[in-house]
Structure 1
Amino acid sequence: MTRISQDREELHRAVEAFLFMEARLQDTHDYDGWESLWEDDAIYWVPANGGDIDPEEKMSFIYDNRSRIRIRMDQLKTGRRHTQTPRSELARIVSNVEIEEIDGAEVTARANVLIFEENLRGETLWAARNEYRLRLVDGAFRLVRKKVALVNAHKPIYTLSFLV
């Protein structure tokens, strides 16, 4: 592990580049590439009932540890996920990236994300306020925690595959 540079502009560019790359992996259904971004102690969380709930007490759409992330990716790769036959076409726009905290080799960041999903049901725009905890490992960022607070979570959600 390496300490994060205190040069805020350089750090901001590096975090943005990582978030853009993560979005590309999701949009292109590169499940192996996306899964490889996660650390062993990772948590991926998508709250169901607002962003400030306790995931241990209230229901979540997704509350996965590293093992569950791997299982989810393996399931998607089988080709037997009928909600993804044919699979959704996706395009994400990541914006408003902010660095919140630097703690040794970890950085906390926020970003707004707009996800365009097109599938047999039509087109849907999903908006989210994402929070990230990134860890610098051997000169590259890795995901430790990701929280996706869907702005329009009240809409029917037929599949969570767009959240990969």
Structure 2
Amino acid sequence: MAWDAKQQDLLNEVTQFIYREARLQDDHEYDAWEALWADDGIYWIPANGEGTDPENEMSIIYDNRSRIGLRIRQFHTGKRLSQTPRSRLRRIVSNVEILEHDAAEIRVSANAMVFESHTRGDTVWASRNEYRLRREGDDLRMVLKKVILVNNDTALYSMAFLI
């Protein structure tokens, strides 16, 4: 399928948004990361597979916008002992693909590898991330971020940072 300039511009904008989101997380800039969310945003990390219904399945994280803010406020207290010292993080994001879009929302998929270095050791997290983005004014906002960890059916190390 040949992409026209408008579709390519949208893909570039979406890709830059996802890259920015990854950088903010890697740098622990959680206030700026929180600003990327829509007021009705949902952050979901399913457990035990692909995750089809967070209301009826186990989740590692299933947070609404209020809970996302609470996690960040807790992080800022400095009392998150699992993040003292903070993990050093770097993400590699690839395969950004717009699955569908209309005037209201953009559905996007991307692969990610997160390298975490911490005093307890190094961990590599691999995932497929699914996003629903909405334009609010001139900016994109996350309505949904679903992180499907490749190994979410096994015991996981502490994720005291926001994946």
The residue correspondences of 1:31-110 to structure 2 (distance < 5 A) are 31-110=30-109
Higher relative contact order (CA 8 A, sep 6+): 1
**For structure 1, which segment, 151-160 or 35-44, has the greater mean C-alpha deviation from structure 2 after superposition?**
151-160
> Given the two structures, how large is their TM-score scaled by the length of structure 1?
0.92
Residue 162 of structure 1 deviates from its aligned partner by 4.3
Q: What is the alpha-carbon distance in structure 1 between the residues aligned to residue 95 and residue 116 of structure 2? A: 21
Percent identity over the alignment is 54
In the alignment, structure 2 segments of 5+ residues that lack a partner are none
SS state of the match for residue 86, structure 2?
coil
Q: What is the alpha-carbon distance in structure 2 between the residues aligned to residue 100 and residue 159 of structure 1? A: 28
Q: Which residue of the partner structure matches residue 30 of structure 1?
A: 29
Residue 21 of structure 1 deviates from its aligned partner by 0.2
Q: What is the alpha-carbon distance in structure 2 between the residues aligned to residue 112 and residue 147 of structure 1? A: 11
Q: What is the alpha-carbon distance in structure 2 between the residues aligned to residue 9 and residue 18 of structure 1? A: 14
Residue 49 of structure 1 deviates from its aligned partner by 1.2
In the alignment, structure 1 segments of 5+ residues that lack a partner are 1-5
Residue 160 of structure 1 deviates from its aligned partner by 3.8
Residue 155 of structure 1 deviates from its aligned partner by 4.3
The runs of at least 4 aligned residues of structure 1 exceeding 3 Å deviation read none
Q: Which residue of the partner structure matches residue 161 of structure 1?
A: 161
Q: What is the alpha-carbon distance in structure 2 between the residues aligned to residue 147 and residue 106 of structure 1? A: 15
SS state of the match for residue 7, structure 1?
helix
Q: What is the alpha-carbon distance in structure 1 between the residues aligned to residue 52 and residue 107 of structure 2? A: 19
Does the aligned pair in 2 maintain the 1:117–1:162 contact within 8 Å?
Answer: no
Q: Which residue of the partner structure matches residue 122 of structure 2?
A: 123
Q: What is the alpha-carbon distance in structure 2 between the residues aligned to residue 159 and residue 113 of structure 1? A: 15
Query: Residue deviations 1:111-130, cap 9 Å, x none?
Result: 00000000011111100000
Q: What is the alpha-carbon distance in structure 2 between the residues aligned to residue 159 and residue 141 of structure 1? A: 26
Does the aligned pair in 2 maintain the 1:90–1:162 contact within 8 Å?
Answer: no
State the one-letter code of the partner of 1:50: G
Does the aligned pair in 2 maintain the 1:88–1:162 contact within 8 Å?
Answer: no
Q: What is the alpha-carbon distance in structure 2 between the residues aligned to residue 16 and residue 155 of structure 1? A: 31
